Every structure is written in C-alpha cells, then in structure tokens.
Structure 1
Amino acid sequence: MSDAFFSKPRPFSKRKREDAPGSAPRQTRNGTSARGQTMSRGGKDRQNGRKGGSGAGRPQNKGKRRAEAEDEDLDEGDADHFDSDEVGSDEAEGVDEESEEEDELETPAQKRLRLSQMYLKSLEKDKEAEDFGFDAADLDRDIIAERLQQDVLEHTGKLHLNVASTLQLPIPSTSIFRTPAKGHRGCVTAAVASHDGHWLYTSSKDGAIMKYDLAAVSAHDPSASTSSTPGSESPLPRISRSAYFRKAVSDSQKRDAEKHQRFDTPQDKGKGKELAEGHTDEILDLAISHDGKTLASAGRDKVIGCWNVEGEGGKWSRGLGGHKDAVGSIAFRLGTNELYSSSFDRTVKVFDLSTLSYIETLFGHQDSILSIDALRGELAVTAGGRDKTVRFWKVMEESQLVFRGGGASRMRNVLDGAMEDEGVEDEERKRRRTQAEQRGPVKFVEGSIDCVAMVDDSTLLSGGDSGTICLWTVTKKKPIFRLDVAHGINEHDSESEGIIGTPRWITALSCLPYGDVFASGSWDGQIRLWKIDERLRSFSPLTTIDAPGCINSIQLIAPSLRPTRESQLSAVTVQGGKAGKDAAGSTATAPPAKNLVVVAATSKEPRLGRFMRFKDAKDGALVAVIPMA
C-alpha cells in the first residue's frame, strides 16, 4: 500500500524552487523528517523577516549573525534535502484522505468485528500458560477475549451454543425454587431475570412490580447440597425480596382524592401524601436490558414504563406513549438499549431507552399483536393473533416477511390480499385424504398464533391455540417442522356432545439466544424443554418441569456463558487443591457452577383474560436451575 501511495504523482508545493525549476523534489519514503520540517520552517520565517526589514533598526549580536549565516548555508546547500513544510502536509493529507475513504466503505458493525478479530489474534500470540497463581491484568485480558469471542459469534447471527447435550437430567427437586408466598395481589403476568442471573422481576395485574435477589439461586450447585453425609448438607438458597414498585394513581383518582381530602389545620393544606410513579393499570409484560440497568414494562394503560433498576432498588424514569391501545409485549435488542414494543393497536414501535426517545412505527398486522421477540440483529418477530401470521421484520430495510399459519381458504385469501385460489386445492386434498384414511393423530385448526421466539437471526418458533409448535426459517414460507398437540389434549364433558377433547394452546415460548434449547408452556401443569437439531430441521423433547397453573411467560438464561470478572476470580484455582491468588494477594473462592436457568411466571389466570381459573396454582415466579457438565 505504501509503495503504491508514493508512486502516485503528488501536487506541487505552494513555494516553487528557484534553483531548479521543473525538477521533482527528492523525498524519502517516510516523507520529510520532523527535524527537516522544523528547520525549513525556521529558515523560511527568517528569510521573510530579512525581506521585510523587521530587524533593520535593532542591533544584532554575534550569536544572531552566526545563526543567520548557518541558516543561509542550510538553505543554499541543502535545498535538495529540505523543501517547504507543505510537502509533509500534503502527504499527511493524502494519508488521511485514504483512511477516510476506507472508513466510509466499512460499516460500524464490520469495524467492530474486524477490531475484535485483530484483538483475539494478538491475544493468541501473547498467551502464556501459568502454573501457579494468576495476574489481575491477565485475567481482565482473558475476560475481554471471551466476551469478544462471544460477540463475534453472536454477530454471525447463527446458532452456536450447543447446551442441550451438556444438561444433567433429570432435574432434582432441590433445583426448583419459587418466590415467597406474600407477593402480588393479582395474577402474575410476567417474570424476567437479568442476564447475569443476579436479579428477578415479576409483574402482575395489580399494576405493581417486585424485585428479588436471585444471585444465590442462579449460582446454586445441586451436587453440593446433596452429600453422602447427612449432617454435611448445605442449606438451600432462597429467593429474597429486594424492592417493591407500587401501582400509580390515575388522574381521576387524584382528583377524587383531592376532592374528599380532609385537612385538620390550614398549615396542612397542600401537604398530601406523596404519590407513586408507575403504571395505572395492569402490567402485561417485562423486559430487561442486557446490562441489567434498565427495566421496561408494558401496560394496559397504553404506556411503556422505563425503570432505572441499577443496584438493589429501582426508580421510575419515564413513561413512553404513542400506542393507541394496550401494549401487549416488549423485547430488548440484545446488547443495546433499543426496545421493540407490540400493541393491540396492530403496530410495532421502536424506542431508544438510552435517550428515552421514539424512533419509528411498523405496520402490517391485521389483528392484535400478542407477542414479540428480538436478538442482536436489527430484526424482530411478532405473532399477530387472529390474523394467523408470523411477521419477520427487517427494521433497517423497512420490510417484512409474512409466514401464514393455519389452513388456507378463499375467504381468508381475499381478506389477506392474496390470490383467491392460492393453497386452497392443497388444503382440500389433505382434508379428503384425512377423511378417507381416518387414522393418525387428530389435527386441530389453528385459529390464533399467540407466541413467538427467535432461535437465531434466520430461525424462529411459533405456537398457537391449536397446541402446535412450528419451526420456521426465513427461506421457506411453510414451517420446516411442526409438532401437533405438544402439551396434550384437555377432555371435558359436554351435556350435548359427550366427552370433547380440545388441545391445550401454547401460552409461552422462549429460546436460549443462539442456543439449541427452548421451552414451552401451557396450562397442563408442566414446562417442557426441547432440543433443536444441529441442522435446524426438527426438535425433540428433553425433560419437563412441574409448574401447576397457567404459564404466562418463560425465559432461558445461562449466566456462566457471559463471563464477568467476579466469576472469573472465583473460578481460578491452583493445581494441587490450593486456592489461587490474584495480584493483590486475595484468595479466590470456589468456582461457580455452570447452570441453565429457567424462569417462568405461573398464575391462576391467563395473562390476557379471566376466562379460566386454576385453584391449585400459585401466583408467583418459578426458577429451575439445571446444571451443565
């Protein structure tokens, strides 16, 4: 690159040479040296001073005359070696122009990826094994390397976390925890944990949010609590309550309170009780940012709540409006503060919570949007409820891919804007074949798609009221794999029809980001874990977790896959059973266990209604810790 650069014809300098007109200046490969530029600039200034006669009236000593003589000799004898300072500046400007051109051709994401790869290569060259102890600087460098490796893999947008084969099953009963009994007064609609496994948040129809300390539970090692000696068993950790965010008072309630407020003395007038800030109606969903500092809540009051939850407490930051109906679901884009929200007004909105500002609105669904999910890319997936579509949004391109669930019909094609006979013949042929054969599992018609989950940037899952879980890819319009009646059939006695069987619909779906494990929930009293095939063509059951009640939300996290300095310090041990020491001399503790944490919100009622009630269920959050080998 340098040879090609210096072989280009360069523009003439502003000051032309008098001794050799038309001759090209002789330059070194690195351009004029700093000393040459300084001396040339000094000689030029002194020559200009002599021409202008600035020193004619002042006495000059011998030192000044000697310096002027040296400058004259330098200008006359070394004219070929030193030119004006514009030569060096031209070269610097050329280099800057080329670097700017290279930066313009490279996107910020590509630049971060390139710098991460360069840093990893430099670490591979400088890496040296240590037999005893460790250095804090080396530890920080290793942590940065692991995080950059994770970021590089996530930026590829493909599945790369093969966790299913490392899970130690079945799950022991000592690894399942529940939140304290005294909690919300209403149905628990959502439960979400921070990505480091430290904090747990739950929301309810009572309009309040609770914060719990989950650090001891997420780092729990089931093998440590189960010992051969009965007296040496360690006590099980508990989920402890940390903070409580109350429901706010609406404007009408404020006016009523001021109207009926009584004051004993004139001095007490105007000193009303401080009112809480937050939602004034039911909270339907929660989402936590990747750094764990910002919590977002979706309310039936058409407001998206922003909470600053850094530390043990929490504070209301601001309520973001814009939706014309209840906000049904929200999701953060991984690694950023961009928030995607879906509403019953059939729109998707994008917000930036770092500045608490609105970005844009996306249109397309024909019915209430019940679920939304997002990963690291500027992509989002939504479930359109009764319009029976899953839409894959490309936010930057302002485009969408539509995946149609359920069966095709002429009436539906007309309403959806498709061709009238598109797919109708195939559906009629399947129906006739099923009626003729009268064997095999019963397939129920899908009337609504209620939940979605992204596996990676090109693969997604969906579930609906037919009890079917579908696996989709962006390259095909039909699901590449589907499992009918995933959570069984509910049988009930009808006076006119006898025993009728209906499928249990899928109420919640969640996948480990870029992993091969996902979980599904319904109201059959079990959370089911599934393993995705390596080729992303099918999935198979792994295990079940007992969870009585209706599962309103599910989340999968693996805190050990995102290393922190504290976890690395505790993981460092010295060979021979001795504890390691860092540069400061502090002794490291035992390494934390690698766990997959399943967080679910269980309730006596469904999230979006009260048409069913389960008496044996408990309102709260369930946390299952699954050890990994």
Structure 2
Amino acid sequence: MNSARRQSKGKTKRKQRQPQPKSDTRNESFFDSNPKRQRRKPTNGDNEVIDSDEESGGGSENELIPEKEQEGEVEEPETAAEKRLRIAREYVEKIKAITKQQKEDEEESDEEGEEDEEEGKWDSRAAEFLQKEQLESSGRARRLLASRLQKPEATDEFRLIQRHRESVVAVAITEDDSRGFSVSKGGDIIHWDVESGKREKYSWPSEDVLLSHGARGPQNKSKKRSNHVLGMAISSDGRYLATGGMDRHVHLWDTRTRAHIQAFQGHKGPVSGVTFRQGTPQLFSTSFDRTIKLWNAEDRCHIDTLHGHECEVLTVDCLRKERLLTVGRDRTARLWKVPEESQLVFRSSMASLECGCFINNEEFLSGSDDGSLELWSILRKKPRFIVKNAHPMPMEDTTIVPNGHSKVASDCNGIDGGLKINACSSAESWVSSVAVCRGSDMAASGAGNGVVRLWTVESEAATIQPLYNLPLVGYVNSLAIAKSGRFVVAGVGKEPRLGRWGSNSGAVNGVCLHPLKFKHN
C-alpha cells in the first residue's frame, strides 16, 4: 500500500515538473505594436492573405487623420517666446509704416522725382523712433509739450462726460488714452470710453462674496460695510483696477469682466491712496494708519509693509523704478527705495502737504493746504521752487496787489501788474490735486477756486511758469493728463476728497474733459 502511494505521488510530481510550452508572443496580435486584423480573400482559387485596411468599403485609420498630420506637418502651439517675437516684428513694421508716412507727408510739396529711399534708411528712422519712445517712457528724455501748447479758444471748455451721485475723488486713464475710470464717495465705480462716452458701471459684490475673496468681517455687524472710496489706480496693461476706502481694504477688480476678484486686508485705518508700479503687477497702498503696504496683483498676496510717517498718509505715486513717493499730514514727502528699505524725507516748513506726483525719476511736484505749489529734487531736502498762491480766490472789493507783493506770486498769477486775490486761507484755495503728462514738461493743478491751471516745469532753470487757466466750478479732487497730451481729465465735486469742511452748491459731481491743442513741430 505504501509503495503504491509513493509511486502515484512520484508520477504526479513528474507531471508537475514538466515544463510548460512557451507561447510565441511574436505571433500574437495583442503584443503587436500596430496590430492589423487579417482575413483571407479568395482570388481565382488562390487564397491570399490581405490586411483589413485593404478591404473594399472599410474605412482605414489614415482616412481619419488630417493630411497635414499624415505628412508630418502638425501645427504646434505658439510658445511665449515666439509670440513675443511675432508681436515685436509687427510693431517694428508698424513703426516703419508710420515713419514712411511722415516722410511722405513732409515731401508732398517736393518734386516727384525723389519718391523712394533705401530700406536701410527706413530701418534707421524706425530705430530712432523706437529709441526716442523708449527714452521718453523711461523718463530719461522729456517731450517739450508746454512750448507747443496753443491758447484755448473761447469755445474750448471743460465738457461733462460722466455724472456721479456724489463727489468724484479719483480719475485714471489707460496707457492708450482710450478708456477712463472714475470713483466717487458713494462707491460708484464707472468705466467709460473717452471718444464715445459709453459707460459701464461696476457692481459691489455681496457680503458673502467679499468674505470669500479675503475681506475681514465688519467690526459692528449691525452696520453695513462702507463703500466710501478714497483712491483708485489702473495697472499699465489695463487689466486690473484697484480701489481703497473707508472699509480699510484694498479691492482688486478685473476690468475685462468688471468683477471683484480680491480684497486685501491688513490696514488698520481707511485706505487713502493706491497706485501700480508701471509695467508690473506690484500694487502699493497708503492709509491713515501711517503705513504703506506692498501687494502683488497677480499672486494676490501681501509683500511688505513700510513705516515712517508720523501722521496720516494721503497720496502715493510710483514710476517704473521701485521708488515710491508718499505725502502725509506730518508736513513731509517721502521717497522710498523699496529694495533697500530706506527712505528720504523732504520737509515742508510752511503747511501740510495735500498731494504729490512724480515728474520723472529725479523730480516731483507737491501741493499744500496754504495754496503753494512746490518743485522738488531728490538731491535736495528743500523745494527748488515754490509758487505761492497758486490758486488765489478772486474778490470783487479788493485792490490790485502790486508787483512787489511777492515775485513768485505775481508771476504765477499770470497777469502783468497784479491781480485781485484773496489770502489762501480757505479750503477753496488748497491745492488738492496735481498731475503731470508723463515724460513731458507740462503739469496741471486743481483746487476749489474755479480754475484748473496748466504749468511749464523747467527743470534746468528750476522754475514753474504758468501757461493757461481752464475754468471749472467745484472742488477738483483728482486730475489726469493723457499720455499723448491731447486732453486733461478732472474729477470734480461739491465737496473735498477727504472731508466735508467745504461745499459748493453750484458744482456738478462728475468727470470733465478739456481738449488740448498743440502747434506742429
């Protein structure tokens, strides 16, 4: 019995040890990289193996692939570098066409024999044009617009292009001078077209949406969140719009969809001003809490906080360099070097500074609540030039002030022999806004005395000379000059930007535009 069991176990083990036959994977269609079903097609008694692709009436795989892909000419998506190169080439061709058109316009009166020039000359003219444009945009070259500005005619006046329910506190223009933005104390944000005047209004989101976008809940839940806006700025590419106001937040908007996309929190006081660094998504904000905060609009994050002002910070301005200009009620204007985290302090010995803006990387303007307009250089701690009584209040029952009253004051009044003026003690004479046409020698200032004044800024002579007065009733809380210099935009209201200590019932709350005309070179 035992021997029989051993024999049977041995037989089973031998059966298990027998090697299994290996399958030839080369003949299996499953392992074939490009399997094709095959079938036999009888032809005249001979059996011929053909591919399924050769079947009559059967669709082949290549028929479904476009011809370009079969030939290997697949269109690949354009990379970022290729797109930049294509745009640059199109821009150069556009500049060549502009220079050629200018040359043809200049030679219209010449003989017809000289029609074309060599291609190299057009390239050199286009290169000069591009170099000049680059120097002007970077602030290293200045356009002399003030000397070519024509005197406004009697029919030229400020034209109301947009109305607001409350006083306008800020206006801004895009880089191409085609669109404008304005905000009022009531929180109305309007996007309008310069030529047609067509307007689009932004809508504030609900409280739940604001909280989801990063906003902090109100301290007093029984009160509604304030939409009172104090400052506004538009990015260089025109994509982002930033606003700040009494709710202590910096709000970021998408201009393409007019949608609210982010609420930056961190300020402990009302946000008084915002600005973008030119050509970048860097955003700067100032507040009554005496701080300046740096944000990134693309990443939507906080970068840094700057301290130094001893009182409320009112306005902020920035060019292409990482340098900030801030003006505060501590009678100082401060130039911040952001990478070095350092600051230069410029003190005004006369009165509190209300506004300021860059002329270029080396100079800036400021306006005071005593009616003075100051020209500063970053190399000096004191103003290079001061215009006293820049916006005097005319009075009917006053005598003519002689020339000896003040050399600067009599010059800035723009009338030989004197002018009927009132002392700059009221809120109407405060210089509440200043603006500069970027890369030029033309500036503008506004107050509540009923005029917007245009100025020539002479850097070499270190003087500010008056050009023309543009009548406008109301408090001019914000000014913007088109990059081309074709017009000036003023945000006007019945009340000042930062308070209600003055009122002008005859003013209209809105945005006004005044065209500017220049003589040809």
Do the two structures share a fold, i.e. TM-score over 0.5? yes
Match of 2:319 in 1: 375
SS of structure 2 residue aligned to 1:165? helix
**Contact in 2 for aligned 1:344/1:369 (Cα 8 Å):** yes
Aligned length: 374
Change (3 A) 1:253 1:315: closer
In 2, Cα distance between equivalents of 1:279 and 1:350: 24
Tell me which residue corresponds to 2:382: 478
Q: For 1:482 and 1:379, how far apart are their aligned partners in 2?
A: 24
Tell whether 2:184 aligns with 1:176.
no
Query: Unpaired runs of 5+ in structure 2?
Result: 1-87, 105-113, 212-223, 398-421
Shift of 1:350: 1.4
1:558 is displaced (CA, Å) by 2.4
Give 2:11's aligned residue.
none
* Equivalent of 2:279 in 304, 314, 335: 335
Cα RMSD after superposing both structures: 3.4
- Contact kept in structure 2, 1:520 and 1:529, CA below 8 Å: yes
Q: Deviations over 1:559-608 (max 9, x none)?
A: 4xxxxxxxxxxxxxxxxxxxxxxxxxxxxxxxxxxx43211100001111
State whether structure 2 residue 480 is matched by structure 1 residue 544.
no
- The alpha-carbon deviation at position 171 of structure 1 amounts to 4.7
**Secondary structure at 1:488's aligned position in 2?**
coil
Instruction: Provide the residue aligned with 2:510 in structure 1.
Output: 620
Which residue of structure 2 lines up, in the alignment, with residue 245 of structure 1? 202
Partner of 2:425: 502
2:521 counterpart of 1:598: no
User: After the TM superposition, which residues 358-507 of structure 1 pair with which residues of structure 2 at under 5 Å, given as runs?
Assistant: 358-385=302-329, 387-406=330-349, 445-446=350-351, 448-489=352-393, 502=425, 504-507=429-432
After the TM superposition, which residues 22-33 of structure 1 pair with which residues of structure 2 at under 5 Å, given as runs?
none
| Alpha carbons of structure 1 residues 133 and 606: separation in structure 2 relative to 1, 3 Å | farther
Instruction: Write the distance in 2 (CA, Å) between the matches of 1:253 and 1:492.
Output: 53
More strand by share: 2
Q: 1:289 maps to what in 2?
A: 235
Distance 2:173 2:124 in 1: 28
Distance 1:335 1:172 in 2: 39
Correspondence for 2:83 = none
Letter in 2 for 1:294: Y
> Could you tell me whether the CA contact under 8 Å between 1:517 and 1:530 is conserved in 2?
yes
Matched, 1:151 2:134: yes
The answer to whether structure 1 residue 518 and structure 2 residue 475 are counterparts is: no
How far 1:535 sits from its partner (Å)? 0.6
Change in CA separation of 1:500 and 1:394 when aligned onto 2, cut-off 3 Å: closer
Q: Is the 8 A contact 2:135 2:141 kept in 1?
A: no
Higher helix share: 1
Q: Partners in 1 of 2:489 and 2:123 — Cα distance?
A: 30
Distance in 2 of aligned mates of 1:338 and 1:163: 30
TM alignment of 1:117-196, pairs within 5 A: 146=129, 149-155=132-138, 157-171=139-153, 173-174=155-156, 176-180=158-162, 183-196=163-176
Q: 1:158 to 1:148 in 2, by over 3 A?
A: closer
Contact 1:207/1:279 (8 A) holds in 2: no
Deviation at 1:472, TM superposition (A): 0.8
2:246 aligns with one of 280, 300, 307: 300
DSSP-derived class of the 1:341 partner: strand
How far did 1:536 drift? 5.3
TM-score if structure 2 supplies the norm length? 0.65
**Bigger CA radius of gyration:** 2
Matching residue within 193, 217, 221 for 1:213: 193
The whole-number CA distance in structure 2 between the counterparts of 1:536 and 1:250 is 54
Task: Verify the 8 A CA contact 1:279 1:303 in the aligned structure 2.
Answer: no
Superimposed CA distance per residue, residues 255-275 of structure 1 (whole angstroms, 9 cap, x where no aligned partner): xxxxxxxxxxxxxxxxxxxxx
In 1, Cα distance between the equivalents of 2:504 and 2:167? 11
Matched AA of 1:335:
G
Answering whether residue 489 of structure 2 is matched by residue 532 of structure 1, we say no
User: Residue 176 of structure 1: CA displacement?
Assistant: 3.3
SS at match of 1:173: coil
Check conservation: 1:306, 1:316, Cα contact below 8 A: yes
> Post-superposition shift, 1:158?
3.5
Question: How many angstroms apart in 2 are the aligned matches of 1:490 and 1:208?
Answer: 33
- Determine the C-alpha separation between the residues in 2 that align with 1:457 and 1:150: 17
Note the C-alpha offset of 1:628.
2.3
**Contact in 2 for aligned 1:471/1:480 (Cα 8 Å):** yes
